[in-house]
Amino acid sequence: MFKIAKENLSALFQLIAEKQELYLPVKAAGQTNFAAWDKDAQVDLDTLKTVKSAKDAFFPQSENLYNVTKKEKKMHIEPGALKEQDFVVFGMRACDVKGVEVLDRVFLADPIDSFYAARREHGTIVAMACHEPEETCFCKVFGIDAAQPASDVAAWMIGEDLYWKALTEKGEALTEAVKELLTDADEAPVEEEKEAVHAIVEKLPYMNLSLEGWNGDALKEKFDSPVWEELYKPCLACGTCTFVCPTCQCYDIKDYTAGESVFRYRCWDSCMYSDFTMMAHGNNRNSQMQRFRQRFMHKLVYYPANNDGMYSCVGCGRCVEKCPSALNIVKVVKAFQDQGGEK
C-alpha cells in the first residue's frame, strides 16, 4: 500500500503523461467527463459520476474502421489503426470498472473485436473507491463493492492523501513507473474508509432492490407481460439512457464520402431509436414498447442467459439521473414487483 499527498497529484499526472496517454475526469462547460489530461485541464476527482461513463476509453463513441480510396482504376483499402500506445484511465469508479467486464464479454468473445481488444491490452485502469455513494447508486445489487474497485490499481481519497494499491501486473508496472512520487502507507485508514463507505451504502434507497424473478430463465414470462404496455409510455425515445450507460454496447456502421475517399466508421447507436437495425424489410421492433422492452430484457434477461447469470447493468444510476421522463431500470424492476408480470 502506498500513498501520495493530494497536492502532489498534478506531479503524478505529469509523470504518467510523460510516458503514456492519460485520461481522467475533467470539468468543462460545467460538466465532468473523461478526457485526455493536459496541464491546463480542470481535473475533477470530487464529482462521483461523470455524465458519460468511461467506456469511451475502450469503446469510443465514434471511430474509423477503414478508408477506401480510389487510385486510377483500383480501390485501395486502408484499415483503421489499432491502439499501439499504452494509456492510463484514472478515476473510474467500481461500477464503471464492472461495466468494462460486461463489454469484455461481448467484444472479446469470438469473433474478437480487434479495435476493442487492442485498447484493453494497452489500457491500465486506476479506479477510485467512492467516498460518498449517492442516492441514485445501487451497485451493491449487482455484487459490486463501491469501496473496493476491482481494477489494475485501486485508490482511495482519504483526507489530504490518495492511497494506492496495485491489484494486477499492469497495476504493479504503473506503480513502479511512478514510485518516486509514492510513499509507503499503513492500510488502517483504508480499512476504516471502507467501513464508512459500506455504512453509507447500506442506507441508500435502491440498495435492496430485489432482482428475484429476473434472470435468463424468465424470458417468456417477462417478454409477454402486459406490464410493458403501460410502463413504456413516457419514453421519448431520446436514447439518453443508452448513451450515458457504461454497459450499452450497440453501434451502427456507416460510410462517409469525402471526395475520392470513403470512410467507414462506427458510432454508438441506441436500441431505443426507431431506425435501430433497420433492414430492407423494415424494423424488427416496430413500436416504442417493443424497443423499450428490448433494452431492459437485454440487461436483465438475455445478457445473463448468455453470460453465466451476470447482468448487464452495474447500478451506476446514470439513467436514474438523466432520463427526461424519469424512466429507468429501477422503475422497471419495481413495476414488475408492484404489478406482477403475469396479469
Any contact of residue 33 with ligand SF4 (CB under 6 A)? no
Shortest distance in whole angstroms from residue 108 CB to ligand SF4: 19
Smaller CB separation from ligand SF4, 91 or 315: 315
Binding residues for ligand SF4, rule CB under 6 A, total 26
**Cα separation of 248 and 278, whole Å?**
18
> Nearer Cβ to ligand SF4, position 188 or 326?
326
Residue 238 in the binding site for ligand SF4 (CB under 6 A): yes
CB nearer to ligand SF4: pick between 122 and 291: 291
Binding mask 301-340 for ligand SF4 (x = CB under 6 A): ------------xxxxxxx---xxx-xxx-----------
CA 296/CA 311 separation, integer angstroms: 10
122 touches ligand SF4 by CB under 6 A: no
Please tell me whether residue 175 binds ligand SF4 under the rule CB under 6 A: no
Candidates 272, 297, 300, 332; binder of ligand SF4 (CB under 6 A) is 272
Q: Which of 22, 125, 128, 244 binds ligand SF4 (CB under 6 A)?
A: 244
Cell of 57: 476509453
Q: Which residues pair with 22 in a beta bridge?
A: 88
Alpha-carbon span 91 to 297, nearest angstrom: 30
* Polymer length in residues for the chain: 343
Residue 145 Cβ vs ligand SF4, minimum distance, rounded to whole Å: 16
- Are the beta carbons of 148 and 167 closer than 8 angstroms? no
Comparing CB distances to ligand SF4, the nearer of 161 and 249 is 249
154 part of the interface to ligand SF4, by CB under 6 A:
no
Tell the smallest beta-carbon distance from residue 294 to ligand SF4 (Å): 12
487510385: which residue's cell? Answer: 71
C-alpha dihedral sign at 37, 181, 96, 122 = positive
In the complex, minimum distance from the CB of residue 278 to ligand SF4, in angstroms, rounded to a whole number: 17
Interface positions with ligand SF4 (CB under 6 A) = 235-241, 244-247, 272, 299, 313-319, 323-325, 327-329
